[in-house]
Chains A and B, each alone.
Chain A
Amino acid sequence: MKKAILSVVLLSMAVWAAAQVSVTARVNKTSLTLDDELTLSVEVNGASGNMLMPELPSLPAFNVYSREVQQSSINGKTSTLFRYVMLPRFVGKATIGAIRFTHNGKTYKTDPISVTIYRNAQSVPNTRPASSSAKVSSDGNYDSAAVKRPVEKADPNLPPLERNLANQAYARGDENYFLVAAVSDQTPYVNQSVTLAVRFYYNRSFYDAPYQKPSVSDIFMEDAGSAQGTQSIGGVLYRYEEQRYLLTAAAPGKATIGPATVRYMTGSSPFSALDRLFGGSAVSAEETAKSDPITLQVRALPAAGKPKSFYGAVGEKYTISAEADRTQVEAGEAVTLSITVKGPGNLKPTGDLQLAPIDGLKIYNTQATSGSVPGNNGQIRGYKVFKTVLVPAASGIYTIPSVKWSYFNPKSATYQTLQTDPITLTVSPSTKTDTGFNFGAAAGNGFQSFSQDIAYLKTDAAPEPSFLTRLSAWQTLNWVMLAVLALSVLFASVGRKSLAQKRAYATAKNRLKKAVSDEAIAEAVSGYLQHKLKISTGSMPLKSILQALHKQGITPATAEAFSLLWQRLDAARFAPASADTQDAQHLANQALDILKLLEEESK
């Protein structure tokens, strides 16, 4: 059973492989005169390895005088072209019957082709090729370089880049291999994407063709894909290989694109490929095709009218859209907002979108991704997607407002602004109670801090100034009062001393009346001398005391009496006698008499 399945699979693969071979026959014109050449091309695609020449049917109306074989391999696909150049023999309708081609035991047949042969050129209504299928690989005359033709002009309705390339190719249609380069705009603005196309045209086979891309200065260049195609130049079908680049200038001024080169190996005679195919020896030569350098004049963007939402995009037909991955969430859950900008050229160098704060939503940093995809007419379309995460802190209805994005339109030389539609988010209260990471939703302790705002207005009356504030307001009064206080203290202090002097005798008298010892008498006398006569007796010898008394106007007799009293008191101080109250009272009376004399004489 397994073997049967394997056989079916292998058979299917063989059938599939066989189906890949296609054979097409074409002529370069269906109406011709007896003086014209007719080129019959038989193209075999998908066949590889050894192959036989196609079997031509009987051609009684033509003489076949030349044949050629070209083989090329592009992207692993082999294509072989057999060309026959024929001369008509008779006027009238002629049919080229089915051409048979056998490969790997399978025979392929082409459809018959009808041509009309006229006697002269005036009679020829149309000389279009029999087929213009896009799959035609190569066609044309035996030696196009030998044919002199008027230079053709490209269709003016073609895009500038295509028209430029085609015109350059028409101008060089007398060469079998050539390289041309053109840009979509030679005076772009800063940041405007310009397409550079480099085309290698050929109508002969070649091999080993290393390509060197153009060097650029003051401009950023990146690959934008490759393409293949055909172009009829002077009735000869050329094939071309095209490489495209996207150029972006970051600063105004001149920018230069150097020449691109292709070094290719080609046979030395038209039959070399045929010779190689059938085992003959070939002589090859290396040649170089080079494109012309191009200079761009980069223009600065106008400063006038530049909107805040301009991030550097220059081009036409941009679009913007915004989308939230969900519009109904719980508080604390994340919503991904995607804003997509699409348009011509490369959006990679443009700045990142700045989202304005939205009340109640925490906005995380925006992540941008960009890229490009092939567009129509060989243009490149870029895209940039800005993604950000929004987290609503509390339940409610939130509106993500329109986001503005501006670009410079080089055609109208004006800034134009696009904006997204607002998006409404419906946020329900959070049901999460865990303490895990949930973008700030309700935590386990039931408390949730959303954001900080200022406290509300003060609607009460302002507090009355405090006592201390009022006190500080009476600054002058305070200083005056303090000055009064200081003066009062000063006067009080002086008055206190004067009062003590006045009351010295009365105080001493009271103390002497109450004295019951010599010591108490001595203290009373010392106090009197200190307060009344300002004589400090603490450490003063008697002689000094007597001198002080003399200065106070005390008579010698009174001074003598005081001297005796003082000596008596000194003796009692250092040799205390027995405590006799009557003696003490007697001594106190004597002392009082002496103090009375001192009081009288000191006045």
Chain B
Amino acid sequence: MMRRILISAVWVLCLAISGWSQTEAQQAEEMYRQGKFSAALGLYENELKKAPNNPYLYYNIGNCYFKMGSKGLAAANYYRAFKLAPRDGDIRHNLTLALASGGERLVPAGVPAVLHQAFFYLSYPELKGLVFVFLWLFCTVASIWLIKRKLGRMLVASAVILLLSGGWFLLRRSLEQQHLAVIASPVAEIRSGPGTNFPASASAAQGHLVTIQDDKDEWYEVIVQSQGIKGWIEKSAVEQI
């Protein structure tokens, strides 16, 4: 009897949470439609705390920032959504627009868009899962070959596929391990050292992509990828992806 009551209570709680969540998402959309982007942003950020790996929430947060004029923060959130759902056309479109407003490109110059889409067809976790699948396949075929001395060609084919997928995975892993960030403040000054006593050598507008190289106190050492400039930027001016 006690067990039944407990199960019923859990069900009711789940339903209540689900219903409330839907209402909040609808409220956020209504706010967005009315042009109250800041209010919609607050609601979406609350949602994100409950589902931190939801690409659509990052996407919607990016939309709010974009409409509020914070193209840098918009790009950062679109990038997070893109990493989780790289095949989504809307996410790719909005990310391209947000990056373009800062003079950046999603697809590097000279790289065919089709190749870029193929390279990012799978998310990083999906690619890792695929490598496991091919590893299983290879091990299975290898076992058969060891025991029965059969499926020799299939063993070679599975080894080649495993090597290719492993290479793809390693390339993506090197990109994943880059500490990518976006300039979030309207203009960020790039200095020659971690402090305002060092002269500013350049300034970068919001939306520029940077890779973080080092970290000291309230400063990041960054490389502005599109310009090839290296320098120090205040942490508050940068949004890590």
A residues bordering B, Cβ < 8 Å? Answer: 452-463, 465-473, 475, 478, 481-482, 485-486, 488-489, 492-493, 496
Contacts and interface: CB of A to CB of B under 8 A. Distances in A.
A534 B122 CA distance: 52
Contact of A457 (B29, B97, B129): B29
Contact of B143 (A468, A469, A489): A489
B162 interface: no
Interface stretch (B55-63, B107-115, B183-191, B229-237): B55-63
A454 B147 contact: no
Nearest to A453: B97
Contact of A459 (B25, B85, B98, B126): B25
Nearest to B74: A454
Nearest to B94: A454
B54 A485 contact: no
19 contacts: A454-B93, A455-B90, A457-B32, A457-B60, A462-B51, A462-B55, A468-B125, A468-B127, A468-B133, A469-B126, A470-B129, A471-B133, A472-B127, A472-B128, A472-B132, A475-B128, A488-B143, A489-B143, A496-B147
Interface string B59-84: 11011001100000010000000000
B97 A492 contact: no
Contact of B132 (A454, A466, A471): A471
B125 A454 contact: no
B80 to A, nearest CB: 13
A460 B85 CA distance: 14
B60 A452 contact: no
A457 B25 CA distance: 11
B56 A460 contact: yes
B192 interface: no
The prevalent SS among residues of B at the interface is: helix
Interface stretch (B3-11, B134-142, B195-203, B206-214): B134-142
B126 A466 contact: yes
Nearest to B54: A462
A454 B98 contact: yes
B144 to A, nearest CB: 9
Nearest to A463: B85
Given A454-B93, A458-B60, A468-B122, A489 B133 contact: no
A463 B67 CA distance: 25
B23 to A, nearest CB: 13
Contacts, number: 88
B38 interface: no
Contacts of A489: 139, 142-143, 146-147
A462 B129 CA distance: 20
Contact of A452 (B59, B97, B123): B97
B130 interface: yes
Given A454-B62, A457-B60, A492-B147, 9 more contacts: A454-B93, A456-B90, A462-B54, A468-B128, A468-B129, A471-B133, A485-B143, A489-B143, A489-B146
Interface string B3-33: 0000000000000000000000100010010
Contact of A458 (B74, B90, B98, B130): B90
A471 B146 CA distance: 26
Across the A-B interface, the 8 shortest Cβ-Cβ residue pairs: A468-B129, A471-B129, A472-B128, A458-B56, A472-B129, A455-B90, A489-B143, A468-B126
B29 A459 contact: yes
A499 B176 CA distance: 50
Nearest to A461: B56
A34 B221 CA distance: 100
B190 to A, nearest CB: 24
A454 B71 CA distance: 11
A453 B133 CA distance: 40
B100 to A, nearest CB: 9
A488 B67 CA distance: 59
Contacts of A481: 136
Given A452-B97, A455-B94, A492-B146, A467 B55 contact: no
Contact of A485 (B55, B97, B132, B139): B139
A457 B63 contact: yes
A482 B136 contact: yes
Contact of B125 (A457, A469, A486): A469
Please indicate which of the listed interface residues B59, B85, B129 has the most CB atoms of chain A within 10 Å of its own CB: B129
B90 A469 contact: no
Nearest to A485: B139
B72 to A, nearest CB: 14
A452 B67 CA distance: 13
A470 B127 CA distance: 11
A493 B25 contact: no
B227 to A, nearest CB: 24
